[in-house]
Amino acid sequence: MAARSFAIGLDFGTGSVRAVVVDCADGRVIGTSVFEFPTGLGGVIVDAHDPHLARQNPADYLAGLKAAVPGALAAAGVDPGFSRDHVIGIGVDTTGSTPIPVDKNMRPLALDPKWTGHPAAQAWLWKDHTGAQEAAAITAMAREHAPQYLAVIGGTYSSEWFWSKIWRCLKVAPDVFAAAGSWVELADYIPAALAGVPTPGAVRRGVCAAGHKAMYSDTWGGLPSEQFLARLDPRLAALRPRLYDKAWPSDRPAGALCAEWAGVFGLAEGLPIAMGAFDAHYGAIGAGITTGTLVKIIGTSTCDIAITPATGDAPNVAGICGTVNGSVMPGYYGVEAGQSAVGDLLRWWVEVVCGGDEAMHAALSAGAARLVPGESGLVALDWNNGNRTILVDARLTGLIVGQTLHTARAEIYRALIEATAFGARAIIERLNASGVIIERVIACGGIAEKNPLFMQIYADVLGYPMLLAGSAQTPALGASIAAAVTAGSKAGGYDDFESAQRRMTTLADTRYLPDPAARRAYDDLYRLYRELHDSFGGVPDARADVPTLMKRLLAIRERAHGDHTR
Amino acid sequence: MAARSFAIGLDFGTGSVRAVVVDCADGRVIGTSVFEFPTGLGGVIVDAHDPHLARQNPADYLAGLKAAVPGALAAAGVDPGFSRDHVIGIGVDTTGSTPIPVDKNMRPLALDPKWTGHPAAQAWLWKDHTGAQEAAAITAMAREHAPQYLAVIGGTYSSEWFWSKIWRCLKVAPDVFAAAGSWVELADYIPAALAGVPTPGAVRRGVCAAGHKAMYSDTWGGLPSEQFLARLDPRLAALRPRLYDKAWPSDRPAGALCAEWAGVFGLAEGLPIAMGAFDAHYGAIGAGITTGTLVKIIGTSTCDIAITPATGDAPNVAGICGTVNGSVMPGYYGVEAGQSAVGDLLRWWVEVVCGGDEAMHAALSAGAARLVPGESGLVALDWNNGNRTILVDARLTGLIVGQTLHTARAEIYRALIEATAFGARAIIERLNASGVIIERVIACGGIAEKNPLFMQIYADVLGYPMLLAGSAQTPALGASIAAAVTAGSKAGGYDDFESAQRRMTTLADTRYLPDPAARRAYDDLYRLYRELHDSFGGVPDARADVPTLMKRLLAIRERAHGDHTR
């Protein structure tokens, strides 16, 4: 039997970084360490005057590396077969789009005493929405001049993404923009830091962030053209040469561990570092994604990942967040979709409306479980935080219909779960109709593991068995798989993702099968959901040039807010 | 100065009877006594297996007379100017339609030991909905064979009304039906009991109950024809001759106080007893109704009363509960409309959903008062208990649209108040469009008195100053006014309602004026409400023969309930 080998996976989340040491033979996690980001509120820098602002201190990332990697290695040391000499590589996944302004020596501007504490010099966290106007302007400009840019990202550029944030920085903090030698996604920054990459030009960028968030494609020669960027602002066009020309899939090394970090970790200098990718993408790998599998990472929101062989043109899936060659695995188009509020929708109901806590979540789940589909007479839209897929409209709002004077909390709780399941069904139907055929669904994330009612409703609404990933930490596991693949079989890893997944990922024993009677009832309810979905989320009345009711309601709301704050 | 004179008003509510002694000079209440009905749950006999059943024990009514009238007279005795000798009459208002099966000697069957405790032998309380199937069958039959019956009651016969209940009794308890010498509305029964009327045929029936609930009209010769009733059931046709041929407006005496009750009360035998009427109708008189005034009795539900001179044909107000000549005052058509859930809608939100109490009502009112119209981005339909006017559809359900993850309880609380105000506006617009022109609005009832936010929203939504009745007990005051008018000016009363109202009713000093800016915002929101109102409450899609979404949702619900109980 060959010597054991181990890979390190690093998962940079919103509030913390998790390091795991994984046995490459079976994917078992033998050491874990979590470092909570110290800056701001739960790791997030916020602004009391602007709810859309969310930044992160890059120093926290480096502190996290220093604490979590040695911590996980120390924890792994309990395994008598573990040795630091048998660590074969490091993989990294992060939130995104989380771009960081860096100087010409790859130092984040925020680490320069001149810019420390300046909000625009920090990492612009994925959920920062300050660039909403910029996103709208980018979408409008691309619709007119470069529709190909939008075709693969669902038709709308988001305020959460790379260019919206950089352009916003240019507008509100031109001094920070001018000082930035380049901008680097967190998913690319961490591998580059570990490799000691000396300049932004030497950073190997991953296609996951580039393709899904920065309108990168080999088809049109990389990032958006200078002509296009110049239409937005000439200074954005002038930035382009300082970004990157090429982005790489996830089986190519991002670099090799530099001497300095090797010393900190007590690992060998030169260890391969896998290309960085977003948490959902490596999470999908850790969940065991294959062609025909939809991986649902279900948390406060849901991220859906599918792959389809990159043998022809990219599938054109209208309203899907993105379709990028190699963004999940080389040789496949990665297809990303999502729902903006899932756990957050239930949290809103239980905590904001009903004033409850975890105990009430459990009580309402129990009450909801006693109902049969349709019994409450309720149907809801799951748009309290907008609709990411398939309508791509962040301004949409929620709707509940069917209440009586007897309608109970648990009934609405169930109706909200059902609404998210109907939203999930709309996504699967769109994928199937676009040729990305879904044959099985694997869920991972906290809700999937903890809420059997939720999973059963999904099985009944979707009409698929709901499988559960074997790991509770699929992103970190996926990152370690990327490390094992980057290291290769000769080093004790694997030569491709498929063979690594077969050995290193599992499914949980628990699975939820659709109940035929419930499924019939939900087929009927789903028709009503789609009717509400299409009429409230649909296009304005073209004849009369009247916006939809929901949009007119928002216009009234905005006017009222203006009145109230004047 | 003439000697002082006093009238007694008796208000039979759902849980209790209130007796008041009123000074005829100025309407001041100088003595009050309330008797809580002892039978059942808060005075209502219910059935754990049938939420639609609501009955009342007729013995409670008689016990209430024995306790409350002497109690109010004793309380009035504190006034040094009061004397029992100066009581000039008794007026009665009650809930309705609340029909009671009686034997041929006018004894309620429930008082016969043979029938004591039999649910069908009790009074069938207004909110008993066991006759839903019968109501639907009556509506269908009338649409086909006697549309004139429906024209003056808004187009739909209700399960709450006289014939639905009697027919239901015939079906579920034919022995009770067979034993009944006649059926008498509670509003007619109490005056008849006080007068010692010996047989059902001698009871003088009020046109208020007859016209609004029993399809009575002089136009077609009284109650529905025997031919029509025979189409429903020949035994109903056979009952007709044992009911009544003629009903009377409220200035005609129902009878004179009999010796037995005079002895119980310590009052003079032969005192005039006014015609009984429903609480809302006498409440409107107590609130000071005139042509051009809409009186809104706002409580768990809202009852709207208007009058219009009976100089021509009855106004045809589609979707209005009823238009009956003389039902409020002689010489006027009484027009009745209503909303099925007002206070109940707020109670649902605060108590059922948010799990709160009176303190939370106050807190949410305070929070809602800090919002400006439209600010919450919410609009709701007020149909959690169906829509009584103008859609006349008890099966409709609620709807809330516009929620985000930040939507707070107080915002939904305000949206629900606004929804009821929008419903109120739809009623006023319908009245105005039908020629029943509303020039001022007087509110009465607990919510109107206690909730300034509610009243201000109504003023802003309706665009009328919201006036408040001077009395907190307008039904009992109105009943005492009827007593004073029945007694006449020679006895120390009045010769007509108008002059009695001028002296005996007042408005509160508090009044709520529309705010122009709020009114503009609500004009915009009301347009959205009407769009939801018309599309969700409207007619099915005739081309495709598809019921509205709300009705299809109910069909799913009913199927699910069937599944669940099977």
What is the SS3 assignment for B83-103?
CHHHEEEEEEEECCCCEEEEC
3-state secondary structure of B519: helix
CA distances from B435 to A13, B313, B318, B423 (A): 66, 12, 12, 19
For residue A23, give the H/E element and its range: strand A16-23
Record: contact A560-B373, CB cut-off 8 A? yes
pLDDT tens-digit series, residues B25-62: 999 999 999 999 999 999 999 998 887 899 999 999 99
Residue identified by tokens 């869920």 is A443
* Angle between helical axes of B132-145 and B162-172 (0-180°, round to 10): 120
**Cis preceding linkage at A97, omega within 30:** yes
The contacts of residue A4 (CB under 8 Å, 6+ apart) are A23, A24, A25, A81, A82, A86, A492
Q: Which residues of B touch A406 (CB under 8 A)?
A: 352
Q: What is the token pair recorded at B535?
A: 């599309």
For residue B487, give the H/E element and its range: helix B474-487
Closest chain B residue to A356, measured at CA: B354
Nearest CA-CA partner of B175 in B127, B105, B112: B112
A43 and A28 in contact (C-beta within 8 Å)? no
Q: Which of B385, B525, B536 sits opposite A404 (nearest CB)?
A: B385
Could you write out the DSSP letters of every residue in A326-349? TSSSTTEEEEEEEES-SHHHHHII
Question: What is residue A203's DSSP assignment?
Answer: -
Q: Which residues of A touch B407 (CB under 8 A)?
A: 348, 352-353, 384, 398
Residues paired with residue A513 on neighbouring β-strands, in sequence order: none
How would you write the pLDDT of chain B (566 residues) with one tens digit per residue?
Answer: 457 999 999 999 999 999 999 999 999 999 999 999 999 999 999 998 887 899 999 999 999 999 999 999 999 999 999 999 999 999 999 999 999 999 999 999 999 999 999 999 999 999 898 999 999 999 999 999 999 999 878 788 989 999 999 999 999 999 999 999 999 999 999 999 999 999 999 999 999 999 999 999 999 999 999 999 999 999 999 999 999 999 999 889 999 999 999 999 999 999 999 999 999 999 999 999 999 999 999 998 999 999 999 988 878 777 776 788 899 999 999 999 999 899 999 999 999 999 999 999 999 999 999 999 998 999 999 999 889 888 877 778 999 999 999 999 999 999 999 999 999 999 999 999 999 999 999 999 989 999 999 999 999 999 999 999 999 999 999 999 999 999 999 999 999 999 999 999 999 999 999 999 999 989 999 999 998 998 888 765 555 566 767 767 767 777 776 655 54
Closest chain B residue to A398, measured at CA: B403
Record: contact B403-A406, CB cut-off 8 A? no
Q: Which residues of B touch A369 (CB under 8 A)?
A: none
d(CA B8, CA B31): 9
User: Which pLDDT score, from 0 to 100, does residue B314 have?
Assistant: 79
- Measured torsion, CA atoms of residues A326, A472, A450, A279, in degrees rounded to the nearest 10: -30
Record: contact A372-B524, CB cut-off 8 A? no
Q: CA A149, A155, A157, A160 torsion: positive or negative?
A: negative
List of domains in chain A = 6-279+474-508 (3.30.420.40), 290-469+515-566 (3.30.420.40)
A27 and A471 in contact (C-beta within 8 Å)? yes
ipTM of the complex: 0.87
Q: Which residues of A touch B344 (CB under 8 A)?
A: 405
Q: Which of A353, A400, A557 sits opposite B375 (nearest CB)?
A: A557
Q: Which of A353, A378, A549 sits opposite B409 (nearest CB)?
A: A353
Record: contact B353-A409, CB cut-off 8 A? yes
Q: Which of B377, B379, B554 sits opposite A377 (nearest CB)?
A: B554
User: Which pLDDT score, from 0 to 100, does residue B49 have?
Assistant: 84
Nearest CA-CA partner of B458 in B281, B302, B323: B302
d(CA A460, CA A466): 9
Record: contact B404-A398, CB cut-off 8 A? yes
**pTM of the entire predicted model:** 0.89
How many A×B Cβ pairs under 8 Å? Answer: 177
pLDDT tens-digit series, residues A228-286: 999 999 999 999 999 999 999 988 999 999 999 999 999 999 999 999 999 999 999 99
Q: Which of B347, B351, B353, B552 to mutate to test the interface with A (most CBs of A within 10 A)?
A: B353
Q: Judge residue B159's burial from the number of C-beta atoms within 10 Å of its C-beta, 0-12 exposed, 13-18 middle, 19 or more buried.
A: buried
d(CA B88, CA B7): 6
For residue A318, give the H/E element and its range: none
Q: Which residues of A touch B528 (CB under 8 A)?
A: 549, 552-553, 556
A7 and A460 in contact (C-beta within 8 Å)? no
Q: Which of A384, A401, A525 to mutate to test the interface with B (most CBs of B within 10 A)?
A: A401
A344 and A351 in contact (C-beta within 8 Å)? no
Record: contact B564-A375, CB cut-off 8 A? yes
Record: contact B560-A521, CB cut-off 8 A? yes
Q: Which of A373, A552, A563 sits opposite B528 (nearest CB)?
A: A552
Q: Which residues of B touch A353 (CB under 8 A)?
A: 353-354, 407-409, 412
Distance between A476 CA and the closest CA of chain B, angstroms: 29
Record: contact B407-A398, CB cut-off 8 A? yes
B303 and B297 in contact (C-beta within 8 Å)? yes
B275-294 b/e (C-beta count within 10 Å ≥ 16 → b): bbbbbbbbbbbbbbbbeebb
Record: contact A405-B341, CB cut-off 8 A? yes
pLDDT tens-digit series, residues A160-205: 999 999 999 999 999 999 999 999 999 999 999 999 999 999 999 9
Q: Which of A349, A371, A375 to mutate to test the interface with B (most CBs of B within 10 A)?
A: A375
Residues paired with residue A307 on neighbouring β-strands, in sequence order: A334
φ, ψ at A443 (rounded to 5°): -105, 150
Residue type present at position A494: Y
Q: Which residues of A touch B348 (CB under 8 A)?
A: 403, 405, 407
φ, ψ at A413 (rounded to 5°): -55, -45
Q: Which residues of B touch A376 (CB under 8 A)?
A: 557
Nearest CA-CA partner of A29 in A491, A477, A445, A443: A477
Q: How far is CA B448 from the centre of its chain?
A: 16
Q: Which residues of B touch A384 (CB under 8 A)?
A: 403-405, 407
d(CA A437, CA A292): 6
B443 and B455 in contact (C-beta within 8 Å)? yes
Q: What is the token pair recorded at B31?
A: 């003595």
User: Which pLDDT score, from 0 to 100, does residue B152 have?
Assistant: 79
Closest chain B residue to A517, measured at CA: B563
Distance between B350 CA and the closest CA of chain A, angstroms: 10
Record: contact B403-A397, CB cut-off 8 A? yes
Record: contact B377-A412, CB cut-off 8 A? no
Q: Which of B300, B399, B405 to mutate to test the interface with A (most CBs of A within 10 A)?
A: B405
User: Which pLDDT score, from 0 to 100, does residue A540 have?
Assistant: 58
d(CA B458, CA B440): 13
Q: CA B260, B264, B268, B270 torsion: positive or negative?
A: negative
Q: Which of A348, A353, A402 sits opposite B353 (nearest CB)?
A: A353
A482 and A285 in contact (C-beta within 8 Å)? yes
Record: contact B528-A409, CB cut-off 8 A? no
